[in-house]
Amino acid sequence: MDGFSEGAEIRPGVIVNNCSQVFLGKNVILRPNSILMATDNATIKIEDDVLVGPGVHMYVINHSFSDREVIIKDMRKQNLLF
């Protein structure tokens, strides 16, 4: 999949951050007020024939965890979540 495929539609009010990291398959429709936020290190790929409803938010963020033995919810308390 490369970029935005044939038949992909982005409706008014949609926000796509870091477009070079977002890939839409054929006939994908993003409805109004949806947000797709990718990063340089993480992509969003939506396969063919998908309808994303209005107001859907997709955020892709990679986190680094310094201690894999600590439960994720406790990492912020111990300043281990970056």
Segment 19-35, tens digit of pLDDT = 999 999 999 999 999 99
pLDDT of residue 55: 97
Per-residue pLDDT at 64 exceeds 70: no
The string of pLDDT tens digits covering residues 68-77 is 777 766 766 6
User: Looking at residue 56, what is its pLDDT?
Assistant: 97
Residue 3's pLDDT is: 86
Tell me the two tokens of residue 29. Answer: 């429709």
pLDDT for res 71: 73
Q: Which two tokens stand for residue 76?
A: 């912020």
Distance, in Å, from the CA atom of 38 to the CA atom of 46, rounded to the nearest integer, reads 12
Task: Find the radius of gyration of the CA atoms of the chain.
Answer: 16
